Amino acid sequence: MNRRTFLTLAALSGTTATAGLAAGCGSDAEPHPAPPPLDLSTPLRIPPLLNPATEPDGLRRFELITFAGQSELLPGKPTTTWGFNGAYLGPTLRAGRGDRIAMTVRNTLPEATTVHWHGMRLPAAMDGGPHQLIAAGGHWSPSWTVDQPAATTWYHPHPHGTTSRHVYRGLAGLFLIDDDQDTRLPTAYGTDDIPLILQDKKLTERGGLDGDPMSGPFGILGDRILVNGTYNPRFTVTTARVRLRLLNASNARMYHLAFADRRTFHQVATDGGLLPAPVAATTLDLTPGERAEILVGFAPGDNVVLRTLDNGLDIAKGDLDLIRFVAAERLSPAPELPAALPAPEPIVPPAGAKVRHFTLSGRDSINGRPMDMQRIDEVVPAGAVEI
């Protein structure tokens, strides 16, 4: 079972709502008008980079603090949201393979949460799952050595039964892992290496988060898209090619991404890290929790919208515009598209590898049994390769 499955299960698992978050956030009684057409004109917010230097003791110290704060998800309409080191989302953490990480997470929220490093290879005790609650007012200090190839990973709460509410409120951020090898991919954060955290929301007329992310069999589908917490966003392109690091941090929505002019782009990475070579594509599917990296070429003066298409196959209906890219009249040159990438070795199951079957049913059952914090159903040895 992979982490995406765990996340989806957490999002689908039902428990009694926590006081203060019972309605997700806003109230369903408030008017919920259809969103007006977008002009995609608001400068895209880029989450600040947290990239601390290595200290003399060899550690890189990161500090995250959960806050309840005020955000303007809709302009001029402040509303209460949650975030790390700010009111909504969290900083982008960046570390290299082999780095020794000393993390401190302080929780100033009125309820317990956890911080799970989604996509990070680390000891179970550092993983921030439901068993590693950080009490209201408490803190948690996991530490580990980064031991995996370059990848786009992310972090978010994982408390049992309230994961979806905590993420919907705004608790999520990226954690970029660099490897030593020069891949000739863009790496100038915020300039040609751009994070795009995709989230759909239901918002009230007063700008509050509406609806219950635990509602319905699949979770909530919003009719407004935030990219890095920015509604109606635009990004100004200054280089001839950009690397987009896409994260689907939505509760239930699948994205079927395409540019309005159907231009070809190249996918260079998935959840697991770099691909062996760039793959040309015109559409890209992204499920909740999933990441992908793409390279997109631009000509001077280009003006193109990235949208999600209605493919007629899943619960989200209708096309939605996500973000507009406007290329400057003069673009800095970009490195050539690499012919090959330093992808990790393929995972090959050994002959006779153990095969496990998991059947998901109802809101919270796996193989017919609901999640129970006190029970362990499956034990996989560290380092094992199974099917």
List residues near Cu ion by CB under 5 A: 7, 118, 289
CB of 116 to Cu ion, least distance (A): 6
Classify strands 291-297 and 265-270 as parallel, antiparallel or unpaired.
Answer: antiparallel
Q: Which is nearer to Cu ion, 60 or 118 (CB)?
A: 118
Q: Which of these, 6, 31, 381, 2, lies nearest to 210 by C-alpha position?
A: 31
Q: Which is nearer to Cu ion, 4 or 61 (CB)?
A: 4
Q: Which is nearer to Cu ion, 186 or 288 (CB)?
A: 288
CB of 332 to Cu ion, least distance (A): 35
Q: Which is nearer to Cu ion, 24 or 289 (CB)?
A: 289
CB of 118 to Cu ion, least distance (A): 3
CB of 339 to Cu ion, least distance (A): 33
Q: Which is nearer to Cu ion, 270 or 303 (CB)?
A: 270
CB of 32 to Cu ion, least distance (A): 28
**d(Cα 353, Cα 357) in Å, to the nearest integer?**
13
> Which residue carries 């998901």 as its tokens?
360
Q: Which is nearer to Cu ion, 2 or 145 (CB)?
A: 2
CB of 43 to Cu ion, least distance (A): 29
Q: Which residue is nearest to Cu ion (CB)?
A: 118
Q: Which is nearer to Cu ion, 116 or 241 (CB)?
A: 116
Q: Which is nearer to Cu ion, 273 or 289 (CB)?
A: 289
CB of 247 to Cu ion, least distance (A): 10
CB of 289 to Cu ion, least distance (A): 5
Task: Give the length of the chain.
Answer: 387
Q: Which is nearer to Cu ion, 26 or 289 (CB)?
A: 289
The answer to whether residues 308 and 222 touch, using CB atoms and an 8 Å cutoff, is no
> Which residue carries 């601390």 as its tokens?
52
CB of 220 to Cu ion, least distance (A): 17
